[in-house]
Amino acid sequence: MNNMRNSVFGALLALILSASNSFSAKAPFTFDAMMKLARIDDPQLSPDGKTVAFTVQTIDLPGNTKPTAIYTVPVAGGAAVRVTPEGSSATRPRWMPDSKRLLLLSDRGNGMQVWSVNADGTDSKAVTDLPTGVDNQIISPDGELIAFTGEVYPECSAANASPGVEFDRTCNKAKLDAEAASKLKARTYTSLLYRHWNAYTSTRRQHVFLQQVKSSEHPRDMTPGPLSAPPFALGGLDPLAFSPDSTQLTYVANTDPDAATSTNSDLFTVPAAGGAAKRLTTNPGADEGPTYSPDGKYLAYRTQTRAGYESDQWRLAVLDLSTGQTTSLTDSLDKWVESYAWSHDSQRIFFTVDDHGSTPLLLINVGGGAVRTVAQGPTTISSVQFSSDDKTMIFAEQSGSHPAEIKRAFSKGGPALTLTHFNEAVLDAYQLTPLEKITVDGADGVKVDSFVVKPPDFNPGVKYPALVTIHGGPEGDWGESWSYRWNAQVLAGAGYVVILPNPRGSIGYGQSFTDAVNSDWGGHAYDDLMATVDYASNLPYVDRDRMVAAGASYGGYMINWILGHTDRFKALVTHAGVYDLNSEAGTTEELWFAKWEFGGFPWDNPELYAKWSPSNYVKDFKTPTLVTHGELDYRVPIGQGQQLFTALQERKIPSKLVQFPDEGHWILKPQNSQYWYATVLDWLGQYTKPTAAPGAAAVAH
């Protein structure tokens, strides 16, 4: 397996070298170019090891849609074949055990439902028919059962119903229709977390269902009652898993009474035939992503040890199902575990971690011990799967200069083979410059990494404007991954040297580095950023008099903090940024976040809130600022951006507010994204005044 490391890295290096040799013949990368890219995701290796199914999302800019289709491609290499029809959107391809059919989610009928299709896309059949649609489908190893999640009206089942009660479609459909037809739109709540991300909650709750794949029987509700299970996932891993003998279903649930202040999700198991659910974990932090070993003896999952802290270190744990003993395998690694997969002999677990901006693939024995590196390079590896003999690895790979592609590698060595080629023509026409890493001494002498993306046709004898972009979180990072919301290649293509700093609070540098931002939002992280700005301003190709900065979420907070603490930037862009900590704590939805980051609520810790709130430094604001915000953003509600814009206008500071009525925390709709990029680049361009074509903005030495 160690040979995979060289093959993956070698293939990437060859790609980078090839691209660098042809830069001069290519155009700068633009938003329009980015919209031409196919967004490849969710590779699924068939049980016989011969075929990979995956999703391809394309952008219909005139139609303002992002349809997703499912394709298959041979593991041996060859042409990809579309499985789902035009005019529909489909996700989550999952193979039946015989590798002949796929179960997938498609909106071609009554909302998003599970459909069954042949591997070539023929003989499509609807499998589910929940009025509100379904999600998260998985297939039992024997191919007889399907588990999935869906929203239901809990009162349609008896109050004392036990797991396995039959779903009452008639009652649920009647209530759904009545809700849609009602002229009364008032919402009434008696508990918190009444809205989340970009939507208000209704009286429906998410439940886990079981259904026969080839039967007309109604689905059975395995989590009846008023509780939503599974809850929204902090980490995004699958919340459901079948035991290898198909007799048990494991799911994630949070049973704490106050969901708004709790991150305490646990694992539960319920017999597929029906019966009482059993709690498997009692850890006070989050547990998620259950994955059974092939021999059925163990259950692997991700876990956090600290309650109420969504950015605690994610560890890989293994539960011995015969003894009930749990072993945490990665405590000493001091890196966040991102994803994992069992070897087919059930003796080893392959997993990825976030490490200084990349995600290497590692290996550890089920009993613990030394961690071995399988594949490591300046890339992000995900969705790792192995053939039944563990000799073939399928994975998705991306970098800061290349969108995701699906690849294959052999344990015996040799170059990795790229299986998907949807984007080759587009990428061959544009310059995408590799990320370069710089390291500076931040606050207290701590080493702080940043990535630098240079403009196309870069000339070291030219001075360029610099754009410092600040990531969200604050427990997040910039790294070797492709982004469509803050694409560094588009920003560099507009003529900027793009600086991507990872200050205190960033992940991938050890948990103490991450924790250092807690209760210190504008402290060491700000100092780290300014040390990076000092370094960048002294680079021979950076014009220190034309530096600008932008950020979103916590990055937006930091832009708002910068407004009151330095005037070294010519212009700023803040998207979905926290401006007033007091009102943010009272209007955001995930209250555990504010409680952890600031040691309680404003009435518990008023001095800390006052110290770090940008709203208390308005009299020092000077810099022209663009404010953008989604009106459906319930993580950082729209009032934060509006309050900031009011302050800027009252202070007579050049400023602009752009609101998106149909967006939440992120700007996702194609035409909104197009307008956002154009507005941001236009705003920054007013204050950096490039004097030449994009990619060659020049002030000679």
553 is catalytic: yes
Per-residue model confidence as pLDDT tens digits over 405-428: 999 999 877 789 999 999 999 999
Quick one: the chain helix, strand, coil %, rounded to 5? 20, 30, 45
pLDDT at 24: 52
Question: Counting beta carbons within 10 angstroms of the beta carbon of residue 397, is it exposed (0 to 12), middle (13 to 18) or buried (19 or more)?
Answer: buried
Structural domains of the chain, with CATH: 435-688 (3.40.50.1820)
* Catalytic position from the list 553, 613, 615, 655: 553
Does the active-site annotation cover 682?
Answer: no
Share of the chain above pLDDT 90, in %: 89
Q: Which of 356, 471, 524, 665 is catalytic?
A: 665
Joined tokens for residue 337: 């575990």
- Beta strands, E only, 568-632: 572-575, 625-630
The pLDDT, as a whole number, for residue 1 is 45
What is the rounded distance in angstroms from the CA atom of residue 554 to the CA atom of residue 590?
Answer: 15
Token representation of residue 101: 């059919």
Which pLDDT score is estimated for 5? 42
Give CA–CA dist 94/213, Å, rounded.
13
Tens of pLDDT, residues 299-346:
999 999 999 999 999 999 999 999 999 999 999 999 999 999 999 999
Check residue 443 and give its pLDDT.
82
8 Å CB contact between 153 and 147 = no
Q: Which of 500, 451, 478, 485 minimizes the C-alpha distance to 576? A: 485
Say if residues 349 and 366 touch (Cβ distance below 8 Å).
Answer: yes
Dihedral (C-alpha) 611, 614, 619, 623: value to the nearest 10 degrees?
140
Confidence (pLDDT) at 690: 57
pLDDT for the residue numbered 369: 93
Whether 527 is catalytic: no
pLDDT below 50 — which residues of the chain?
1-23, 692-701
Q: What is the rounded distance in angstroms from the CA atom of residue 14 to the CA atom of residue 274? A: 54
Note the Cα 266 to chain centre separation in Å: 21
- Catalytic annotation, pick one of 266, 633, 655, 673: 633
* pLDDT confidence of residue 13: 38
